[in-house]
Amino acid sequence: MEGWRSFKKNKLALIGTGIVLFFILLAIFAPIIAPSGINDQMLSDKLKAPSSEHWFGTDDFGRDIFSRVVFGARISLWVGFLSVVGSIVIGCMLGIIAGYYGKWIDMIISRIFDIMLAFPSILLAIAIVAVLGPSLKNALIAIATINIPNFGRLIRSRVLSVKEEEYIMAAKAVGMSNTRILLSHVLPNSMAPIIVQGTLAIATAIIEAAALGFLGLGAEAPNPEWGKMLSDAKTFLIQAPWTMIFPGLAIMLTVLGFNLMGDGLRDALDPRMKN
């Protein structure tokens, strides 16, 4: 409750939350909001400027850009949420094992994290997709994989601190199993930084999905993924700038919303940020 009260006082965090909720609702009600189908083509209307008929204009196939941006929210949020959930599950599992058991297990897992972090994240994602093959599913797997070390190292450092607390010693003294200690005590007391990092990681995942889509390694045509839309529209930047402006704005606003919300959660949940 104290964290929620602190969060409500942060106006930027509330603005970010509002932006995020707006795009979530946009994705949920996309079939109702979109005025036309994402693949409805009208070649006679291609590259038309924004108007009352087509709010965001049309692309080179005469498709309504507003409808495609609205449905694109589903893809970007889906990739963002699922990839981060996958990263959290695997990263936390490895991080907890490394931090709690230590010794050679910690050394092996930590070295794996170090090797993965030695590569620029987007290059590692490109390499993974290149091996698996270009597709939205493989892009999601790549994004989840490259974010595993971030969550693993975060939860590991937290576990190293928590496992020295007196209540953990007491749990061991009464014969509680390691699995129960991890699930009942260590994990719940390590989740605050994971929630904050997870919110910020969704923003990063959306950018990475857009980057892979722009490079032709993510969503395939005719899916209205925002990065793919930017890639398809780059040829018409001068002739029809609206084909790039609106997908770009959608990416920017979504990422901004998650970043503002994540900063607010950090301030609310991190005791070091409180007076």
Is there a contact between 117 and 149 (Cβ–Cβ < 8 Å)? yes
Lowest-confidence region among 30-44, 86-100, 146-160, 166-180: 166-180
Q: Tell me the whole-structure pTM to 2 decimals.
A: 0.85
Tell me whether residue 15 is in a domain: yes
Q: Is 40 left (phi over 0), alpha (psi -120 to 50) or beta?
A: beta
Query: Omega into 222 within 30° of 0, i.e. cis?
Result: yes
Find, among 132, 254, 135, 138, the residue nearest to 204 by Cα: 254
Which tens digit of pLDDT belongs to each residue from 10-30? 788 899 999 999 999 999 998
Indicate the burial class of 114 (C-beta count within 10 angstroms; 0-12, 13-18, 19 or more): exposed
What CATH number has the domain bearing residue 9? 1.10.3720.10
Question: Which carries the bigger pLDDT value, residue 240 or residue 167?
Answer: 240
Q: What's the distance, Cα to Cα, between the start and end of the chain in Å? A: 17
Asked whether residue 8 is domain-assigned, the answer is: yes
Q: Give the count of domains, the chain.
A: 1
What CA–CA distances, in Å, run from 185 to 25, 92, 103, 181, 193?
A: 35, 14, 21, 5, 15
Q: Which domain holds residue 189?
A: 2-29+58-273
State residue 58 phi and psi, 5-degree precision: -125, 160
